[in-house]
């Protein structure tokens, strides 16, 4: 089964930095894209950053110039380097993957998987 395991969240002061990691494991055939979303209570989950297998990226306007997404395809891992953090960045951050799985006889279509979420709190 596919699992996305996140790490790196925590408490940081405004202006500080955190680095989030998400490793995908399981019967993965190929990964189209991996990314990060975030959500606060009673709010809709929003895109933070996405990177495709080819290396193209997309960022939310609110994080451009501060966050950098990267990936290690060999490890099926995506990273989010977050610099100059603001209180408004406080949220649960969820790893996302668009990927194909495989078993002995079939390769799947593209499915979406989510990590369990990791809390990022920016506060003095």
Give the residue among 13, 2, 17, 4 at the shortest CA–CA distance from 77: 4
pLDDT for 2 beyond 90: yes
Which pLDDT band holds residue 1 (cuts at 50, 70, 90)?
A: confident
Q: Detail the DSSP E strand segments found in 8-84.
A: 10-12, 18-25, 28-39, 46-52, 57-59, 67-72, 77-82
Give the residue among 39, 35, 27, 119 at the shortest CA–CA distance from 78: 35
Q: What is the CA radius of gyration of the chain?
A: 15
CB 11 within 8 A of CB 70: no
pLDDT in tens, 68-106: 999 998 999 999 999 999 999 999 999 999 999 998 889
């Amino acid at each position: 089964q596919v699992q996305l395991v996140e790490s790196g969240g925590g408490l940081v002061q405004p202006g500080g930095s955190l680095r989030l990691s998400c490793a995908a494991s399981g019967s993965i055939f190929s990964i189209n894209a991996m990314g990060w979303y975030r959500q606060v209570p009673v709010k809709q989950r929003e895109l933070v950053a996405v990177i495709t297998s080819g290396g193209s990226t997309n960022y939310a306007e609110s994080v451009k110039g501060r966050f950098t997404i990267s990936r290690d395809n060999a490890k099926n891992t995506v990273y989010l380097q977050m610099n100059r953090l603001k209180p408004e960045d406080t949220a649960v951050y969820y790893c996302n993957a668009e990927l194909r799985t495989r078993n002995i006889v079939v390769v799947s279509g593209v499915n979406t998987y989510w990590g369990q979420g990791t809390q990022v709190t920016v506060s003095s």
